[in-house]
A and B are shown apart, each in its own frame.
Chain A
Amino acid sequence: MKAAVVVFPGSNCDRDCKVAVERSTGARVEMVWHAETALPDDLDLVVLPGGFSYGDYLRCGAMAAQSPVMRAVAAAANDGVAVIGICNGFQILCEAGLLPGALLRNAGLKYICKSVTLDVVNTQTLFTSAFGEQYEAVMTVGNGEGNFFADEATLDRLEGEGQVVFRYQQNPNGSARGIAGVTNAKGNVLGMMPHPDRAFEDDLGGADGALVFRSVFA
């Protein structure tokens, strides 16, 4: 059981992700600097953490998507390794073309930091199997650009193929069809704006996030 958390300049949830994965799953977690060209061997999970990589220059996640390490992340994803991008990590995965769609400025133009209740739309994924019969999850969002966008044909395909994993019960930011988290077609790359890394123990207000990490190692 081994995971890696990629650290970009401007990441600020990297340590949260490390602690969250360690405490949720018992996996060993290595930190990988973005300038590395290779990931550690035998990884089960790669996490791209939240933050403001490269100061959100150009577009959120655009610069980080071109980091040397992202070629290794793409190769790992291609080999079937589980990859989770949380918040800025989601934006990076979209910019890198590893996930469909893009994240736009929140419809209300405001940074939103609050608790959200999610529908667990698909409990049969690599990232949600541990939810079992639990179809709701509570986590927090904290972002200014979390408004998921994709064209209608792509959205239809995502829904039809079961790639929509999490949906906001009350859409906070104008996301298309209330989408909070999606996977790639193969099902081994997940992007989500809410933070499972901030909801992995009851002391943090909820432990639903731990189920996301536990699912990967189930």
Chain B
Amino acid sequence: MKATVHVFLKAGVLDVQGKAVESALHGLGWPDVSAVRVGRVIEFDLVAQDAATADAEVEAMCDRLLANTVIESFRVEITP
């Protein structure tokens, strides 16, 4: 199975990279852009009995290592 983990700073945490990218996009002529967030995507393969098991394993990996839940939230996608 393939796991895709999306990690972003939590809503209450100022994303200074997002702000900088947003301001650059405005400068390049896209003034209607707002709420830019810069995050991280982590992909990997894993062997698991079923999608639910894989999802639980990957959630645990996020809690332990892949995300810092003090500042980041994450979303897990499992595909066959």
Contact = CB atoms under 8 A, between A and B. Distances in A.
Q: Do the two shown chains form a genuine complex with each other?
A: yes
Interface of A: 58-59, 62, 66, 94-95, 100-102, 104-109, 149-151, 174
- Which of B9, B16, B66, B70 is packed against the most chain A CB atoms within 10 Å? B70
B70 A109 contact: no
A58 B66 CA distance: 7
Contacts, number: 34
Interface in B1-34: 9, 12-14, 16-17, 20
B68 interface: yes
B66 A102 contact: no
Nearest to A94: B70
Contact of B65 (A66, A101, A150, A174): A66
B14 A107 contact: yes
Contacts of B71: 102, 104, 149
Nearest to A100: B70
Interface of B: 9, 12-14, 16-17, 20, 65-66, 68, 70-71
A172 to B, nearest CB: 14
Contacts of A59: 68
Contacts of A106: 16
7 contacts: A66-B65, A95-B68, A101-B70, A102-B68, A104-B71, A106-B16, A107-B14
Contact of B16 (A66, A107, A150): A107
A151 B13 CA distance: 9
Contacts of A151: 12
